[in-house]
Amino acid sequence: LPSARAGKTVVHQLSVSLEDLYNGATRKLSLQKNIICRKCGGERGLRRGQGGAAGLLSPCT
């Protein structure tokens, strides 16, 4: 398996009060990321057909 590559750096501005910093308040942050499908290589769930259907695209399963 190839080694994992580091993604882009994410910067998110978060406003907190001095009191929150002093008291060690915590916040939750939700993130999403896209993962490239290993079967279709990120071709939107489509892959090339085989044999006589070489030019056709079929859903990635």
Q: Where are the domains of the chain?
A: 18-59
d(CA 31, CA 29): 7
* Residue 26 CA from chain centroid, whole number: 25
To the question of pTM greater than 0.75 for the whole model, the response is no
pLDDT for 46 equals: 54
Give pLDDT tens digits for 37-50. Answer: 777 776 665 555 55
Give pLDDT tens digits for 8-55. Answer: 888 889 899 999 999 999 988 888 877 777 777 766 655 555 545 545
Under 8 Å between Cβ of 41 and 30: no
Q: Pick from 17, 40, 37: which is nearest to 27 by CA?
A: 17
